[in-house]
Amino acid sequence: MDILFVRELKVDTRIGIYDWEREVNQTVLVDLDIAADVRAAAQTDKVESTINYQTICQHLVAHISASEVELVETLAEQIADIIRSEFGAAWVQVTVHKPAAVRGTRDVGVRIERGDRLP
């Protein structure tokens, strides 16, 4: 299985369970691992032969910045659904980081996998 990946897609959004979090934008970071067969893209050297991570990133930035969910779990599930349903990935691993959300930590978040890892 081949993996396309994105690391630390940075998006400002409203996310959180506390009243103050609902009033300010916070930065989330998104990591993606997407199962894809890249052989056709390698042979044709054409982006149309693969899942375009630039298009995915643009779509996710628009979605995340407009969303106002409370939980990183909800956001991760939405992202996984977008990757699978709109971009045709059979499997995706999504990590949503919420840096400095908990005092005394550098980072907290959630990592989920959805779909079948092996085609």
pLDDT at res. 93:
98
The conformation of residue 70, written as its DSSP 8-state character, comes to: S
Largest interatomic CA distance in the chain: 52
Cα separation of 119 and 114, whole Å?
A: 13
Distances from the Cα of 91 to the Cαs of 8, 22, 34, 49, 83, in angstroms? 19, 32, 6, 18, 9
pTM of the entire structure?
A: 0.93
Other C-beta atoms within 10 Å of 29: how many? 16
pLDDT at res. 118:
64
26-79 confidence digits (pLDDT tens)? 999 999 999 988 888 888 998 888 889 999 999 999 999 999 999 999 999 999
Average pLDDT across the chain, whole number: 93
Cite the active site residues: 98
What's the number of domains the chain is made of?
1
Q: 40: domain range?
A: 2-115
CATH number for 76: 3.30.1130.10
